[in-house]
Structure 1
Amino acid sequence: MQVHSVEHAGARVAHIRKARRLTQRALAERAAVSYSTVAKVEQGKMAASPSVLGALARALSVPVTELTGQPYMEELRADQLDGLIQPLREALDLYDVGADPEVRPRGVDVLSREAEALCAATRRAELRQVAAMLPALITESTTAAHTYGTDQAWRTLASAYRTGHDLAAKFGMTDLCTVALERMGWACRHGSDPAGSAVRQCLRGLVYLRAGDYRTGLRLIDSGMRCAEQAEPGVERDAVTGRLHLGAAVLHARAGEDEADEHLAEAERYAARTGEVQRVRWLCFGPTNVAVHRVSALAERDRYREAVEVADGMSASVLPASRVAHHHAEVARAQLVIGRADDAFASLREARRIAPQQTRLHPLVRETYAGLVAVKRRVPDNVLNYGSWLGR
């Protein structure tokens, strides 16, 4: 069965490039990527990697999201998520006007447990549930922080803001990510929380990773390391520091730098001390998380066969659903590049099974699907059905 043309990032690259009056060769020179890569990406014959998209976005002076097409509003509406975004924006906005006189906050222990529950639900990729409940929690926790003024109250609010960042990131809303992290930093300062501040700097670094600005991302990771040094020694500090090394590894890898291996080795050293931890500082960290980041770091440096070999020899099932689904999306792209198209589609289907809402909104899934369609002479119905589900 023949397939209609699939919209992909390459088509957006070509449109913006022509508006800038650049040839493909001129764009390739500006972006420091090969001419053949630009040509194949624009034609849809190659799934655009995050590093290539970052380089092209910088060369074209546009946000990466303009090339990926995020946020995917039609899909958000289809999942009835778009109407939940504005309440989140409003809750994030009203942070510095003091306690709301119409809100009677519950005890901090109750709010803290609810914040942890929503954090866990985000890691299970239950996006609709979290989006529906989070604005009210932020509003109530804001009043509680201003009313009680304890470190625990402020840290609970910081946790809610962190979940707001995670949610916005999965929706592809970079501006909302930035606002949530600014609020998180503000709450961490009030709560005298160096470990929370370190996590926040790590997340800021990953925002710049998605934007293709690796140098700034690494500066933020370094800042996070300094914050982590101020925390009390123990598993919490080790997990946060190890997670910062993983962030640095991916940033270096996406920049094509082998310093990624040094940071992976450091993260592995910390993981040997912490073991598998899932709920420390709203992070998952441990040997398995180091392994999935090793797959990422290899793929980011175009070492796809090695990435697939590492992935084939491990299981990510102990990690939260959101991270496992993301891992399968990364593996799918690597499998596609080395010619294992059927395995790539199997990985995309596994990502959908584990975290359907997240997978539907994942730009790497969409690019890999477009590349999968491009390499197939005749596209089977099950592949077309997957594309329909994606909204392609």
Structure 2
Amino acid sequence: MPLPDDGHTGSRIREQRRLRRLSQRELADRIPYSLSLLTQVECGARSATPGFVAAVARALGVDTSKLTGPPAMALLPSERLLGLVAPIREALDRFDLGPNPDLTAVRPVPKLIAEADALCRQVRAAHLRAAADALPGLIVELTHTVWTAPSTPLWRALASAYRTAHDVALKLDHPDLARVALDRMGWAAGRASDPCTEAVQRYKRAILWRCATSLPLISSGHSLLAEETSREALAVAGQLHLGAATVAAKNEDATAVATHLAAARDLADRVGGEAREVHWLSFGQVNIELHELGASIAMRRFDDALGQARALKLPESMLMSRRARYLVDRALVEMEAGSAKTSLRYLAEARKLAPEQTRHLPGTRTTIRGLVHMSRRAPDSLGGMARWVGM
């Protein structure tokens, strides 16, 4: 189902009108302009004048930026969100400043290492706010400690904390901060002399960028693991193939997608079971199926995606963050199939399961916009969901 064009004001007027459950006639009766003009503006046949936009905004009770600004305006972070990410940014900036003279007490090394692992676990459980609150202090303590008493376990823990900072920033829609965190992860992983950690960092960079440099990053990750034969290395190598499949899907290269998914399946057979303990990647056959679904969505092969989504059986042990992502993907493909009620149900389930993550997933907004486009008058539940994401 084609989504409405976000590029003109008329499509946003139609979207906001439907969210307020108004027909074109009902909106036209509230503004000093004709129904004919409103109809032409909504379909893009006529441009909206500033006076027309102002009148519609007053009638709908919204700011004019909702109707004229780029769609990303609604995704700008709130002050509350900035309050979460600003301390993380400050902690990342201390990476090369040496020991911190302002620290009066630092936890013992075993506790710092355990905390880095615990925060990784919190993000996988979709407890983003709790992880974001604790992360800056941990990074500051780890940074101070690696400068005063460096060791391989400490460098690994710091790399893990930086990786968690990347995950939090990305899930909260701060890709610029996620890039900084990945740079720091590479810096720490290199000092840990840990090829698997370095390869995970290349995987994360490739997925974040998804551009011309992504495939060389995947290749360099595999090169780092060329001499490694451990279960850990096999799982990371398999995850790199999943990253390559994701990049290939963006480029609509179905052959490359199939090749990399097949390579990942072979490695999953060798790993045996789901490698949840390996760098928190959850590499295994179910994760491969989830990536196959994501690739079909990226290539807009929604018939394939619908079959894949409905066939997927997630184990009870599936991490909350991955389960929420699946629910949003399922909602998207159900919407594309015209099943509005089913789509909204899955979206509501994702919101209930992992609200912080679901709110910032791009697929959430895409699905809501599609559902609004399908509805002559958006039901209250859809209107509430749209307000929740800032539409």
TM over 0.5, shorter chain: yes
Offset of residue 243 of structure 1: 0.6
Query: What pairs with 1:1-392 in structure 2 (closer than 5 Å)?
Result: 10-11=5-6, 13-14=7-8, 69=72, 72-74=75-77, 76-77=78-79, 80-103=80-103, 104-209=105-210, 213=211, 215-230=212-227, 232-258=228-254, 259-274=256-271, 275-317=273-315, 318-392=317-391
Larger displacement relative to structure 2 (125-134 or 382-391): 382-391
1:289-348 Cα shifts (integer Å, max 9, x gaps) = 011111111222222112111111122343211111112212222222222222221221
Partner amino acid, structure 1, of 2:150: G
SS in 2 for 1:360: helix
SS in 1 for 2:185: helix
Unaligned runs of 5+ in 1: 1-7, 16-41, 45-65
Q: 1:119 to 1:307 in 2, by over 3 A?
A: same
State the distance in 2 between where 1:298 and 1:81 align: 32
Partner amino acid, structure 1, of 2:305: A
State the distance in 2 between where 1:82 and 1:9 align: 31
Offset of residue 356 of structure 1: 0.6
Q: 1:197 to 1:142 in 2, by over 3 A?
A: same
State the distance in 2 between where 1:238 and 1:217 align: 20
Unaligned runs of 5+ in 2: 10-41, 45-68
Partner amino acid, structure 2, of 1:113: A
Taking structure 1 as the reference length, the TM-score comes to: 0.79
Offset of residue 85 of structure 1: 1.5
Offset of residue 71 of structure 1: 8.6
Contact 1:246 1:263 in 2 (8 A): yes
SS in 1 for 2:225: helix
Offset of residue 349 of structure 1: 1.3
Partner amino acid, structure 1, of 2:72: G
Offset of residue 189 of structure 1: 0.9
Q: 1:159 to 1:10 in 2, by over 3 A?
A: farther
1:193-217 Cα shifts (integer Å, max 9, x gaps) = 11111000110011112xxx2x222
Contact 2:171 2:357 in 1 (8 A): yes
Partner amino acid, structure 1, of 2:375: K
Contact 1:292 1:316 in 2 (8 A): no
Offset of residue 43 of structure 1: 6.7
Cα RMSD over matched residues?
2.2
Taking structure 2 as the reference length, the TM-score comes to: 0.79
Q: Percent identity over the alignment? A: 39
Offset of residue 14 of structure 1: 4.3
State the distance in 1 between where 2:73 and 2:322 align: 20
State the distance in 1 between where 2:109 and 2:157 align: 8
